[in-house]
Structure 1
Amino acid sequence: MIINERAPSILLLITPLCASAIFLLDILGPMSPFSSALYVPLILLSILVFSAAGVAYTGLVCFVLTIAGFVLSRNDGFDRVSFLDLLMILAVVVITTAVSWAIARRNR
């Protein structure tokens, strides 16, 4: 089962809402490259909410949302995010997901 039975029910509601809010901030906010770093606490929060598979799925969703935010925020109104910045942010998301996945597996 992906959902942790011991997780408070409010966290099951907060987790997708936070992901949506971070994505909107990423595509609409002026600090586009750095708002994706807010996915890190969300991935760490997913340790409490989901099993190891759920943590991996959360990391995958954050990875995809980061790429989508990069593509959707590429307009003249914002500072351009370089491809290197995107790779660094994606590396942080992947590393955080790997560490969180290992912690979730260990807690099982």
Structure 2
Amino acid sequence: MHKSKTAVYEMMRPAEAPDHPLVEWQDSLTADEKSMLACINAGNFEPTTQFCKIGYQEVQGEVAFSMMHPCISYLLHSYSPFSEFKPTNSGFLKKLNQDYNDYHAKKNVY
């Protein structure tokens, strides 16, 4: 697993294995609700639900991030207030900046 990808996974879902299923349906959702969610999200739950609100996928060896539609997050009962999500975002940005700085420091050495 790529270094930055591993760091992000440890921060966003520390209790899970990296090969954890991409989507976990809430027990309270009916089949109709699941169908509606699939329709809203164009039937694709692959990268954008990996971290629920923030998803990633590898693009040419790098990690690309995407945001999940707020309606999907709400309907999956995973919404959290911004005040709770802000510290996670701050830590996330710090890790990405460190990875960026490490990349340029190593690039200049070679």
Q: Which has the higher strand share?
A: 2
Over alpha carbons, which structure has the higher Rg?
2
Considering Cα pairs closer than 8 Å and 6+ residues apart, tell me whether 1 or 2 has the greater RCO.
Answer: 1
Q: Which has the higher helix share?
A: 1
